């Protein structure tokens, strides 16, 4: 049996390097970069590429990937320990080569792309020479993919796409899109959709407008509203089989969700650290704020929530490594995903409160982080759907009782116990002294 909470000394030393590097290089970078994902921005490339090189030299580049894809193959647990050190930064994921949505899109291409697609898109994506976008959500609704309207029709040896998507993050600077479209409208609901690679410069791909979200600082919104009008792509740009869009999507969503959670641990910890500094620095009535019981409670509650959440994330990462099969960790990942927005909102919210007016001002990041909790509660599926999934799976296989009362109904249990031990209870043998 092995069960432990220790990091091996060699990796612990690498993590120490990460923490120092993030403080010295990545945090300052965040102050001057517009969007760390935008590989078409020469200024960004000048700043970020030398840092990525240093990460490669430390063998910490793209830790989520195995050696066959250019990563060290450390697995999810080590990635979790890394991501919690970079999660409070904007640029960190890109500097360390494990940023969404590129990480998930790379997984899809690696699994389902042709050799040619891998050469054209996967290789430069893994080197962060290009960016990618995942184009699934439609303006008519994202939670229910069985209601998606974007159509793909086979004409000769080409697929022709028509429809609208939005929140296709980074489509404005991506080299290609991974698009989910209806190919078989009359098939059962979960076999109607297929997945495609669409080069962004294909005629008919149009950005209707950029869409921005509160709390993201880039000059122009990076979650565009897209229209596909008679977009023609070769038949071999389909990823997976016809009607297998749902299965292909799962390849990326499992990992993507847990990676967000790993980074959120970092964001929550940073909120708590800043809360602590404020609590011992600011005075009220001649005493540090932290000595006030109601403030102390906010600190304690934040610590407890953080540690509970972190353990859930680490355990889930450990299970992914152990089982190597996302289907076996669906409940774990859904639990992490559903817990994440609340922990972040609660702790960032308390950090705002303890910092007073400064906390809510644009001079501190907490407002942005509190709003980020809504991003975490929507992207890769709304919290409610994950909770439904958890409950559904937990109830699967549970037998209903046959009697009127639950199987642990106390009077019923008592009666059964009396029947079982009745003879012994009635016997009047002397009790051992």
Q: Give contact residues for ligand FAD (rule: CB under 6 A).
A: 101, 134-137, 141-143, 167-169, 213, 223, 375, 378-379, 381-382, 384-385, 388
Minimal distance, residue 172 CB to ligand FAD, in Å: 12
In terms of CB distance, is 76 or 99 closer to ligand FAD? 99
According to the 3-state scheme, what is the secondary structure of the chain? CCCCCCCCHHHHHHHHHHHHHHHHHHHHHHHHCCCCCCCCCHHHHHHHHHHHHHHHHCCCCCCCCCHHHCCCCCCHHHHHHHHHHHCCCCCHHHHCCCCCCHHHHHHHHHHHCCHHHHHHHHHHHHCCCCCEEEECCECCECCCHHHCCCEEEEECCEEEEEEEEECCCCCCCCCEEEEEEECCCCCCHHHCEEEEEEECCCCCEEEEECCCCCCCCCCCCCCCEEEEEEEEEEHHHEECCCCCHHHHHHHHHHHHHHHHHHHHHHHHHHHHHHHHHHHHHCEECCEEHHHCHHHHHHHHHHHHHHHHHHHHHHHHHHHHHHHCCHHHHHHHHHHHHHHHHHHHHHHHHHHHHHHHHHHHCCCCCHHHHHHHHHHHHHCCCCHHHHHHHHHHHHHCCCCCCCCCCCCCCHHHHHHHHHHHHHHHHHCCCCCCC
Minimal distance, residue 139 CB to ligand FAD, in Å: 8
Q: Which residues have C-beta within 8 Å of that of residue 362, sequence separation ≥ 6?
A: none
In terms of CB distance, is 69 or 378 closer to ligand FAD? 378
Asked if residue 196 lies in contact with residue 265, where contact means CB atoms within 8 angstroms, the answer is no
For the chain, the farthest-separated pair of C-alpha atoms sits apart, in whole angstroms, at 94
In terms of CB distance, is 39 or 137 closer to ligand FAD? 137
- Taking CA atoms, 247 is separated from 242, 341, 398, in Å, by 11, 26, 26
Minimal distance, residue 141 CB to ligand FAD, in Å: 4
Minimal distance, residue 294 CB to ligand FAD, in Å: 31
In terms of CB distance, is 208 or 388 closer to ligand FAD? 388
Minimal distance, residue 169 CB to ligand FAD, in Å: 3
In terms of CB distance, is 301 or 384 closer to ligand FAD? 384
Tokens of 204: 């008919």
Sole residue written with tokens 């009396």: 418
In terms of CB distance, is 254 or 290 closer to ligand FAD? 254
In terms of CB distance, is 205 or 274 closer to ligand FAD? 205
In terms of CB distance, is 336 or 354 closer to ligand FAD? 336
Minimal distance, residue 391 CB to ligand FAD, in Å: 11
In terms of CB distance, is 128 or 389 closer to ligand FAD? 389
Minimal distance, residue 187 CB to ligand FAD, in Å: 21
As a dihedral over the C-alpha atoms of residue 128, residue 324, residue 341, residue 293, rounded to 10 degrees, the angle is -110
Q: Name the residue with the smallest CB distance to ligand FAD.
A: 142
Minimal distance, residue 147 CB to ligand FAD, in Å: 9
In terms of CB distance, is 214 or 421 closer to ligand FAD? 214
Minimal distance, residue 372 CB to ligand FAD, in Å: 9
As a dihedral over the C-alpha atoms of residue 134, residue 139, residue 143, residue 148, rounded to 10 degrees, the angle is -80
Minimal distance, residue 178 CB to ligand FAD, in Å: 9
Minimal distance, residue 383 CB to ligand FAD, in Å: 7
In terms of CB distance, is 223 or 337 closer to ligand FAD? 223
């Amino acid at each position: 049996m092995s069960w432990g909470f220790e990091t091996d000394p060699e990796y612990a030393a690498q993590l120490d390097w990460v923490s120092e590097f993030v403080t010295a290089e990545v945090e300052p970078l965040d102050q001057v970069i517009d969007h760390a994902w935008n590989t078409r921005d020469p200024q960004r490339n000048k700043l970020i590429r030398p840092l990525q090189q240093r990460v490669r030299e430390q063998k910490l580049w793209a830790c989520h990937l195995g050696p066959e894809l250019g990563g060290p193959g450390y697995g999810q647990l080590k990635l979790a320990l890394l991501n919690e050190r970079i999660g409070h930064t904007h640029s960190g994921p890109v500097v360390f080569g494990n940023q969404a949505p590129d990480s998930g899109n790379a997984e899809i291409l690696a699994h389902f792309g042709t050799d040619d697609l891998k050469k054209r898109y996967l290789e430069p994506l893994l080197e962060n020479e290009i960016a990618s976008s995942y184009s699934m959500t439609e303006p008519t609704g994202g939670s229910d993919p069985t209601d998606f309207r974007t159509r793909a029709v086979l004409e000769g040896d080409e697929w022709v796409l028509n429809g609208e998507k939005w929140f296709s993050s980074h489509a404005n600077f991506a080299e290609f899109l991974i698009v989910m479209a209806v190919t078989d409208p009359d098939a059962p609901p979960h076999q109607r959709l297929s997945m495609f690679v669409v080069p962004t410069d294909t005629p008919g791909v149009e950005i209707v407008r950029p869409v921005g979200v509160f709390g993201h600082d880039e000059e122009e919104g990076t979650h565009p509203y897209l229209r596909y009008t008679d977009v023609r792509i070769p038949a071999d740009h389909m990823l997976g089989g016809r009607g297998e869009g749902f299965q292909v999507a799962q390849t990326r969503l499992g990992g993507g969700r847990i990676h967000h959670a790993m980074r959120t641990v970092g964001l929550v910890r940073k909120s708590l650290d800043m809360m602590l500094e404020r609590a011992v620095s600011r005075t009220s009535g001649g005493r540090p704020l932290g000595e006030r019981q109601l403030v102390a409670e906010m600190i304690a509650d934040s610590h407890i929530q953080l540690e509970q959440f972190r353990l859930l994330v680490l355990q889930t990462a450990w299970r992914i490594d152990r089982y190597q099969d996302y289907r076996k960790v669906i409940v774990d990942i859904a639990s992490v995903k559903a817990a994440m927005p609340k922990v972040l909102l609660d702790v960032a919210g308390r950090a705002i409160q303890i910092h007073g007016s400064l906390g809510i001002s644009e001079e501190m990041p907490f407002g942005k982080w509190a709003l980020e909790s809504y991003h975490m509660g929507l992207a890769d599926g709304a919290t409610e759907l994950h909770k439904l999934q958890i409950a559904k799976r937990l109830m699967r296989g549970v037998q209903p009782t046959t009697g009127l009362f639950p199987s642990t109904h106390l009077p019923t249990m008592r009666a059964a116990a009396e029947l079982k031990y009745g003879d012994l209870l009635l016997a009047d043998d002397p009790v051992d002294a």
